[in-house]
């Protein structure tokens, strides 16, 4: 291993060592604060490291790359993890989730995301994906004191394991068809060599099925509402923001390399349409905020697939932009939900009545997130939707664009329901305590990012289109 290799692998090592250190710390002290602080320091350190320009962009022996796109997403994952850790401390204390395994698992999942982002061959990619998924299997069920926790964990683990099997099999088939594990060579050869190679095509089918599960695209979305409902709120923020951005990044790495994606158009088209329909229509009838957010996320991922379909005409940038924007919005929304729930508010919309008065800060952030998800300017959600629809129209996906925009108009209804409940109905609860300082910071930064990327998206769009040429 050369120093250049070490440079590329350093953030991964940092995260893994950080995770182990936090675990060891548990033997010395029972104070969770120390573990959380170490976790935040490690993620921020990894983010800072990734911001530098590497001496060499590739570490071929390790199957890792330090190109700009993986580093951009790496920074995003690390910051998201730091935000999640910041949110968790208060929430976990209230819920009685204690122990150093929580921050350690968050770090380990971040390690997985980063490995996934920087993979250059299918094996590293799979390892990263697995590391991330394992982290989430644990995190989703980490609230041991709640009766539903085990159920939630199982509902995520079983379909998750199935989807992993699909992914592994897909990778094996691609390897079988192309004889190489390199991401650049295994993927394009298969679909574009004259008439479609059936083995490669089957491999792609398995890959898509596995990724669709991670993105919770209809019809593989059934786990989403239950997991969103049962997992701790900061974990849902991480899952919704991080794991989905990871899956989108995966598609962004694979799809442009296929060179000719016409064969994949039909399944992607169907996934996009079905997800937008199922997500938006089902969300209309939800009475629990978290389930509503789950269906909303299904719909939002449908929009991302619309962008991926129109990749060559700016869709890849749009998808990447939306992945990042959605991550930040998720962090804000579930951060606000975590602050609200921490203070003993229930899960149904009825419990959220009049919170705009008693919890002005958290409600304000939640309302902003709702407006962003509904695609109302000047938020990052609007800019993202705008880019998506512009790319869809440009590439001639008019049907998807029109259906998507009509469903987006419909979606305004259920997002507004949340805002209405927060502000326009009266509650009988008394004034309650303020959010803690880390919660304040995380939510404030996330909200600022939502507005800033809505008003001045120029540099990010420019960067993304530069990276995804």
Partner 1 sequence: MIPVPFLTLLLFLPLAGSLLLLAMTRRESLARITALTIALAETLLACSAWFCQGSTTPQAAPPGFFLFLDRPWIETLGIRYTLGMDGISLLLVILTAFVTTIALLVSWRSIKERVALHFLLILAMESGIIGVFLSLDLFLFYLFWELMLIPMFFLIGIWGHDRNIYSAVKFFLYTMIGSLLMLLAIIGIYLIHGQQSGVYSFGLSELIGTNFSTATGLWLYGAFLLAFAVKFPLVPLHTWLPDAHTDAPTAGSVILAGLLLKTGAYGLIRFGYPLFPEAARTLTPLLIGLAVAGILYASWIAFAQKDMKRLVAYSSVGHMGFVALGIGAWTPVALSGSLLQMINHGLTTTALFAMVGMLDEQAHTRQIEDYGGLWSKIPIYSAFFVLFAMASAGLPGLNNFVGEFLILTGSFKVAQLATVLAFIGVILPLVYTVRLIQEVLFQEERRPLSMTDLSLREILILTFLALADIVIGMHPAPLLEVLKVPVALLTGGAP
Q: Does 128 bind partner 1 (CB under 8 A)?
A: no
Nearer to partner 1 among residue 103 and residue 454 (C-beta) = 454
| Region from 114-122, 188-196, 335-343, 460-468 binding partner 1, contact rule CB under 8 A | 460-468
Q: How far apart are CA 132 and CA 125, in angstroms?
A: 11
Nearer to partner 1 among residue 111 and residue 321 (C-beta) = 321
What three-state secondary structure class fits 53? coil
Q: Does 465 bind partner 1 (CB under 8 A)?
A: yes
Nearest C-alpha neighbor of 151 from the set 95, 101, 226: 226
In the DSSP assignment, the letter for residue 431 is -
Select from 222, 402, 437, 448 the one that contacts partner 1 (CB under 8 A): 402
In the DSSP assignment, the letter for residue 436 is P
Find the helix packing angle between 122-140 and 148-178, rounded to 10°. 170
User: CA 86, 90, 93, 94 torsion: positive or negative?
Assistant: negative
CB of 54 to partner 1, least distance (A): 26
CB of 380 to partner 1, least distance (A): 13
What string marks each residue from 194 to 213 as x (binds partner 1 by CB under 8 A) or -? --------------------
CB of 410 to partner 1, least distance (A): 8
Q: What are phi and psi of 343, to 5 degrees?
A: -90, 20
Nearer to partner 1 among residue 241 and residue 457 (C-beta) = 457
Cβ neighbours of 287 (radius 10 Å): 11
Beta pairing partners, 182: 121
Nearer to partner 1 among residue 178 and residue 317 (C-beta) = 317
Q: Does residue 297 contact residue 237 with C-beta atoms inside 8 Å?
A: no
CB of 399 to partner 1, least distance (A): 12
Nearer to partner 1 among residue 153 and residue 375 (C-beta) = 375
CB of 92 to partner 1, least distance (A): 32
Q: Does 406 bind partner 1 (CB under 8 A)?
A: yes
Select from 412, 441, 451, 468 the one that contacts partner 1 (CB under 8 A): 412
Nearest C-alpha neighbor of 262 from the set 226, 311, 307: 311
Nearest C-alpha neighbor of 95 from the set 342, 434, 269: 342
CA count, 13 A, side-chain hemisphere, 207: 27
The alpha carbon of residue 316 and the mean position of all alpha carbons in its chain are separated, in whole angstroms, by 16
| Region from 127-135, 136-144, 166-174, 372-380 binding partner 1, contact rule CB under 8 A | 372-380
Burial of 265 (0-12, 13-18, 19+ CB in 10 A): exposed
What three-state secondary structure class fits 65? strand
> C-alpha angle with apex 442: 297 to 44, nearest 5 degrees?
100
Query: What's the full length of the chain, in residues?
Result: 469
Select from 24, 144, 222, 424 the one that contacts partner 1 (CB under 8 A): 424
Select from 17, 409, 437, 448 the one that contacts partner 1 (CB under 8 A): 409
| Region from 112-120, 273-281, 410-418, 445-453 binding partner 1, contact rule CB under 8 A | 410-418
Residue list 311-370, contact with partner 1 (CB under 8 A): 357
Ramachandran region, residue 76 (left: φ > 0; alpha: ψ -120 to 50; beta: rest):
alpha
Q: Where are the alpha helices (DSSP H) in 179-261?
A: 183-192, 198-214, 223-230, 233-238, 244-254
Q: Does 456 bind partner 1 (CB under 8 A)?
A: yes
Q: Does 39 bind partner 1 (CB under 8 A)?
A: no
Nearer to partner 1 among residue 48 and residue 409 (C-beta) = 409
Q: Does 416 bind partner 1 (CB under 8 A)?
A: yes
Nearer to partner 1 among residue 259 and residue 462 (C-beta) = 462
Nearer to partner 1 among residue 149 and residue 358 (C-beta) = 358
Q: Does 393 bind partner 1 (CB under 8 A)?
A: yes
Q: Does 434 bind partner 1 (CB under 8 A)?
A: no
| Region from 224-232, 277-285, 428-436, 458-466 binding partner 1, contact rule CB under 8 A | 458-466
The alpha carbon of residue 123 and the mean position of all alpha carbons in its chain are separated, in whole angstroms, by 22
- Report cis status (omega within 30 of 0) of the bond before 171: no
CB of 402 to partner 1, least distance (A): 7
* Contact set with partner 1 (CB under 8 A): 357, 371, 376-378, 382, 386, 389-390, 393-394, 401-402, 405-406, 408-409, 412-413, 416-417, 420, 423-425, 456-458, 461-462, 465
């Amino acid at each position: 291993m050369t120093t250049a290799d070490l440079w590329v692998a350093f953030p991964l090592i940092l995260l893994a060592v950080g995770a182990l250190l936090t675990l060891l710390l548990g033997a010395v002290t029972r104070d969770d604060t120390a573990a959380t602080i170490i976790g935040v320091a490690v993620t921020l350190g990894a983010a800072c490291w990734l911001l530098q320009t590497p001496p060499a962009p590739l570490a071929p022996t390790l199957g890792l790359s330090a190109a700009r796109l993986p580093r951009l997403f790496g920074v995003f994952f690390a910051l998201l993890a730091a935000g999640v850790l910041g949110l968790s401390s208060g929430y976990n204390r209230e819920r009685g989730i204690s122990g150093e395994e929580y921050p350690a698992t968050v770090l380990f999942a971040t390690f997985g995301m980063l490995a996934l982002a920087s993979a250059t061959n299918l094996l590293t990619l799979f390892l990263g994906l697995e590391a991330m998924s394992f982290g989430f299997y644990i995190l989703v069920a980490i609230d041991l004191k709640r009766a539903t926790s085990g159920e939630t964990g199982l509902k995520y683990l079983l379909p998750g394991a199935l989807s992993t099997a699909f992914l592994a099999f897909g990778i094996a088939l691609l390897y079988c068809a192309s004889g190489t594990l390199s991401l650049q060579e295994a993927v394009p050869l298969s679909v574009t060599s004259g008439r479609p190679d059936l083995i490669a095509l089957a491999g792609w089918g398995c890959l898509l099925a596995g990724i669709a599960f991670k993105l919770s695209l209809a019809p593989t979305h059934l786990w989403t509402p239950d997991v969103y409902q049962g997992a701790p709120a900061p974990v849902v923020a991480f899952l919704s923001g991080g794991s989905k951005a990871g899956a989108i990044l995966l598609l962004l790495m694979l799809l442009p390399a296929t060179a000719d994606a016409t064969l994949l158009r039909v399944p992607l088209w169907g996934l996009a349409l079905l997800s937008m329909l199922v997500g938006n229509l089902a969300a209309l009838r939800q009475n629990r905020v978290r389930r509503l957010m789950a269906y909303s996320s299904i719909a939002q991922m449908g929009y991302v697939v619309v962008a991926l379909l129109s990749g060559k005409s700016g869709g890849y940038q749009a998808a990447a932009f939306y992945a990042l924007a959605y991550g930040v919005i998720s962090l804000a929304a579930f951060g606000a939900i975590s602050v609200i729930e921490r203070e003993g508010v229930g899960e149904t919309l009825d419990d959220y009545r009049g919170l705009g008065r008693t919890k002005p800060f958290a409600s304000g952030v939640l309302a902003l997130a709702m407006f962003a998800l509904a695609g109302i300017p000047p938020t990052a959600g609007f800019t993202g939707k705008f880019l998506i629809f512009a790319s869809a129209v440009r590439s001639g996906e008019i049907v998807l664009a029109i259906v998507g925009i009509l469903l987006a108009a419909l979606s305004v209804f259920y997002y507004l329901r949340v805002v209405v409940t927060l502000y326009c109905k009266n509650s009988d609860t008394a004034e309650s305590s303020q959010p803690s300082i880390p919660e304040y910071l995380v939510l404030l930064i996330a909200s600022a990012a939502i507005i800033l990327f809505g008003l001045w998206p120029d540099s990010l769009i420019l960067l993304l289109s530069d990276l995804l040429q």
